[in-house]
Copies of this chain bind each other. A is one copy, B any other.
Amino acid sequence: MLVSQPRTFPLPSIQRLPVYLRFLKEQRDRGEAVVSCTRIAEEFGQLSVQVRKDLSITGIIGRPKVGYKIVELVEAIEDFLGWNVKTSACLIGAGSLGKAILGYDGFVEHGLDIHCAFDVDPKVVGTTIHGRPVHDVAEIAKIGEQKNFVIGILTVPAPAAQRAANALLEVGVKAIWNYTPSRLELPLGMICEDVKLSASFAVLSSRMKNGPLQEESY
């Protein structure tokens, strides 16, 4: 019996895709029709082979001497990441970080559709941030039932992280995007992606202290 094994894609490649995507959209909007790996690599100071390998995980195929059709490539990347379909999301923690995310329209282009925010602070509950209502966390179960959130975004202060995560679990989200530095206790199989700002700062610090030994990578 022949089972098509579920390919596993290199994490670094996946992480580089958004960088390419941004550039490709820029080029497309300038009216460019095709682009080569050489060109992309040049833009980011990488090797063209790496770009080619990265792009290949999306299933796209290019033409020798020409490159890739930008429109197709954009579509292939978005399709690979599932960014061409809207994903319903909510956000817990309408502080400044939460506001920043609600205000950043880059994620909208990635299909992230944040319906509303939740908070405990009576001062923000009832208000609207960038067009999205802020509800009381106490209402999350009720509202979640109607809205069917797929992703929950955690932007609460660290001490409240686990509690907020539990609320998201009850709502039945498929994944949590965790901006807090807390590690969350989650049921097995739950998808959780931590945004580790301290990790980024550690790299910066290490470069300053110990020299720019690790080279940059997009």
Interface residues in chain A, defined as those with a beta carbon under 8 Å from any beta carbon in chain B: 6-9, 11, 14-19, 22, 43-44, 80-83, 87, 95-97, 99-100, 103-104, 106-107, 110-112, 150-151, 158, 174-175, 177, 181, 183, 189, 191-214, 216, 218
Question: Are A193 and B183 in touch, CB under 8 angstroms?
Answer: no
Cα-based distance from A183 to B20 in the complex (angstroms)? 11
Question: Are B195 and A212 in touch, CB under 8 angstroms?
Answer: no
Cα-based distance from A22 to B111 in the complex (angstroms)? 33
User: Which of B7, B81, B106 is close to A209, meaning CB atoms less than 8 Å apart?
Assistant: B81
Q: In the complex, what residues of B have CB within 8 A of residue A81's CB?
A: 202, 205-206, 209
A-B pairs with the 9 shortest C-beta distances? A18-B198, A97-B100, A82-B209, A96-B100, A96-B99, A193-B204, A15-B199, A8-B213, A81-B205
Can you sample 16 A-B contacts with CB below 8 Å?
A8-B214, A11-B214, A15-B196, A16-B199, A18-B198, A22-B181, A22-B198, A82-B206, A95-B100, A97-B100, A99-B99, A110-B201, A111-B205, A151-B204, A174-B208, A195-B197
Question: Are B103 and A96 in touch, CB under 8 angstroms?
Answer: yes
Question: Are B209 and A200 in touch, CB under 8 angstroms?
Answer: no
Q: Kindly provide the distance from the CB of A199 to the nearest chain B CB, expressed in whole angstroms.
A: 4
User: Which of B19, B82, B207 is close to A196, meaning CB atoms less than 8 Å apart?
Assistant: B19
User: Which of B103, B106, B193, B214 is close to A200, meaning CB atoms less than 8 Å apart?
Assistant: B193
Question: Are A183 and B44 in touch, CB under 8 angstroms?
Answer: yes
Q: Kindly provide the distance from the CB of A94 to the nearest chain B CB, expressed in whole angstroms.
A: 10
Cα-based distance from A216 to B9 in the complex (angstroms)? 13
User: Which of B95, B196, B206 is close to A80, meaning CB atoms less than 8 Å apart?
Assistant: B206
Cα-based distance from A22 to B202 in the complex (angstroms)? 13
Q: In the complex, what residues of B have CB within 8 A of residue A7's CB?
A: 210, 213
User: Which of B95, B111, B201 is close to A177, meaning CB atoms less than 8 Å apart?
Assistant: B201
Cα-based distance from A104 to B201 in the complex (angstroms)? 13
Known: A15-B199, A103-B96, A205-B82. Is A6-B177 also a contact (CB below 8 A)?
no
